[in-house]
Amino acid sequence: MDAVNDFLIFLDGYLGSAIWFPTFLLFTGFFFTLYLGFPQIRYFKHAIGVTTGKFDKEGAKGDTTHFQALSTALSGTVGTGNIGGVALALHLGGPAALFWMWMTAFFGMTSKFVEVTLSHKYRNETPDGTMAGGPMYYMEKGLNMKWLAIIFAIATVLSSFGTGNLPQINSIASGLESTFNLDPLITASILSVLLALVIIGGITRIAKVAAAIVPTMAIFYLIGAFAVIIPNIANIAPSFIAIFADAFTGSAAVGGFLGATFAYAFDRGVNRGLYSNEAGQGSAPIAHAAAKTDEPADEGMVSILEPFIDTIVICTITGLVILSSGVWMEKFENEFQRADMNFVAGQFSESEPADIEQLFAYLNGDESSVASFSGNINVVNGQAQNNNEFTLINARSLAENFVFSNEQGPLSGAIAVTDGSLDDTSIIVTGDSLLHSVPLTTQAFTRGFFGDYGQYIVSLGLMLFAFSTAIAWSYYGDRAMTYLFGPKSVLPYRIVYVLGFFYAALADTTIVWNVSLITIVLMTVPNLVGILLMRREMKQTVNDYWERTEHGKHGT
């Protein structure tokens, strides 16, 4: 698995983690924001009216209401990105990462408006009477680029696993195990059966489940979040200052946090922002294509609300919980994941600025005097005896009080390390270090009115968020399979989807996140290229909409 993880990281270095990708994503949203005259601001009020059914017309084709389409799309976006993804972004990039998540959301509101409008305009009615839409249809019929549509559809199928399936159940299982000590096998078994029961019903059942779950889970989660924010209200202003002050400089080392450059905060913030709201990825248009309306721009305006709700509201609240509670720079006892651990040669201290500088450069892949450790660690009753020869880094922090053990208990003897990694994959390492992803958010929620009970809000909220995401993405994948191979391919896809869901509950968290990073890029880039090529048609579609509709004449 180490080799697999290393290969994924290598690929990601040229894709999602390369500076070109977040720059391209933000540029596209920025371009359309100017080109269409800030639609995310001008049309916001109208979007609310459309969503509530104010402008509905009898007899419009489609399978779902505007609200159900919005709920389905939101259930696809409001997931682990809002709980674990924000925590991961702050862990990697510091407070500045949240600023770049906001920028991704603000410009993403326009990107989503464009991709949803165009996808709805070119949707198809399938032989079974349901609607099928998404970027692959505008690519084929609007751009006459079937080859690009095929690439996008294949990437959608891959991303349905990398984005909507594997990370979701993995986060649910790890959260329930840490909070309730529930065996991941039990979680995988029960939720896989529930997933199968929901997705067999197709978009109609999916939309109804999403419309029930999304508002409930949002209220539930927000109550828990404000139970932390209110008692830590004195830290809110300093948190906002840090977010803006560090946005263009990067975050300095503080507590156990070793710091982050501007480029790192920018990249992680934009990347996690995309993972959270999926603006520009081309996924939400597949759900919106099922909406009952004959006006593509109507549905495009509904989608403007998604990045706002998902990132500017929910992700911001999660970020403020983590920053105001201070847990992002504190060390906690935890079991170290293999992909997070790195043994480096020599002794380093957080109290030495020169050590911090070198470790910071090493972790960011820059030139550094720090080298990976190779050799034996002499252990007695789980405790390392030759600590002066190496330093253990876990989750980008200097690990403390670490113990080596296996299923039988603490180890004694020589433990081999090669190029910074343990040779024996069965060895369990526990100790104190920074946390990231879901465990970090879980700790933050214990710093409020509910105390330790706050962790249950995260676990239950995560289960609802992530499960609804997996449901929505199963629909995205089966529409892509319908496009590629016809309706008969949907059932085999759903079976594989449920099996993958079951397996991922037992897989390594870090590898799962790295898979998601790559599949997101494979899906997003063709979609961004496509909507840029259709910019003139998009502008004409919106102009026609305002000229033809009665409400358009009044701009309401």
The per-residue pLDDT for range 155-165, each reduced to its tens digit, is 999 989 988 88
**Helices 166-180 and 184-199: angle between axes, nearest 10 degrees:** 140
pLDDT class for 3, splitting at 50, 70, 90?
confident
pLDDT class for 556, splitting at 50, 70, 90?
very low
State mean pLDDT over 112-129.
91
CB 480 within 8 A of CB 157: yes
pLDDT class for 552, splitting at 50, 70, 90?
low
> pLDDT tens digits for 141-150?
999 999 999 9
Q: Which residues are CB-neighbours of 398 under 8 A, at least 6 positions away?
A: 256, 348, 349, 350, 359, 391, 392, 433
Residue 58 CA to residue 54 CA, distance in Å, equals 12
**Helices 296-303 and 44-51: angle between axes, nearest 10 degrees:** 110
Q: What angle do CA 544, 550, 555 make, to 5 degrees?
A: 75
> pLDDT tens digits for 73-106?
888 777 777 888 888 889 888 899 899 999 989 9
Handedness of CA 341, 343, 348, 353 (dihedral sign): negative
Residue 165 CA to residue 502 CA, distance in Å, equals 9
Strand pairing class (413-418; 375-380): antiparallel
Residue 287 CA to residue 198 CA, distance in Å, equals 16
Q: What is the structure's pLDDT at 551?
A: 61
Q: What is the structure's pLDDT at 498?
A: 96
Q: What is the structure's pLDDT at 550?
A: 64
Taken in order of first residue, the domains within the chain and their CATH numbers are 2-50+61-229+270-323+444-549 (1.20.1740.10), 337-435 (no CATH)
Average pLDDT, the chain: 89
Q: Which residues are CB-neighbours of 196 under 8 A, at least 6 positions away?
A: 494, 498
Q: What angle do CA 330, 336, 342 make, to 5 degrees?
A: 95
Alpha helices in 393-508 (DSSP H): 437-444, 454-485, 490-504
State mean pLDDT over 244-263.
83
Instruction: Copy the structure tokens of residue 170.
Output: 């993995």
Q: What is the structure's pLDDT at 200?
A: 87
> pLDDT tens digits for 494-550?
999 999 999 988 876 667 777 777 888 889 999 999 999 999 999 999 999 998 876
pLDDT class for 464, splitting at 50, 70, 90?
confident
| pLDDT above 90 coverage of the chain, percent | 54
Q: What is the structure's pLDDT at 401?
A: 95
Query: Which residues does residue 404 pair with via DSSP β-bridges, in sequence order?
Result: 429
> pLDDT tens digits for 336-388?
988 899 999 999 998 898 999 899 888 877 888 999 999 999 999 999 999 89
**If we measure between CA atoms, which residue out of 480, 384, 472 comes closest to residue 430?**
384
First to last CA, the chain: 55
Q: What is the structure's pLDDT at 45?
A: 93
More confident of the two residues 380 and 10 = 380
DSSP annotation of 327: G
Q: What is the structure's pLDDT at 532?
A: 97
**Taking 50 as the threshold, does the pLDDT of residue 554 lie above it?**
no
Instruction: Copy the structure tokens of residue 353.
Output: 């600025």
Q: What is the structure's pLDDT at 125?
A: 85
CB 64 within 8 A of CB 289: no
Instruction: Copy the structure tokens of residue 273.
Output: 């922002």
CA distances from 299 to 37, 57, 233 (A): 18, 13, 38
pLDDT class for 553, splitting at 50, 70, 90?
low
State mean pLDDT over 304-319.
92
Residue 324 CA to residue 231 CA, distance in Å, equals 9
Residue 78 CA to residue 82 CA, distance in Å, equals 6
> pLDDT tens digits for 392-428?
999 999 999 999 999 999 999 999 999 999 999 899 9
pLDDT class for 272, splitting at 50, 70, 90?
confident
Query: Which residues does residue 384 pair with via DSSP β-bridges, in sequence order?
Result: 379
> pLDDT tens digits for 188-230?
999 999 999 999 888 888 888 888 887 888 888 999 999 999 9
Residue pointed to by tokens 């405790």: 383
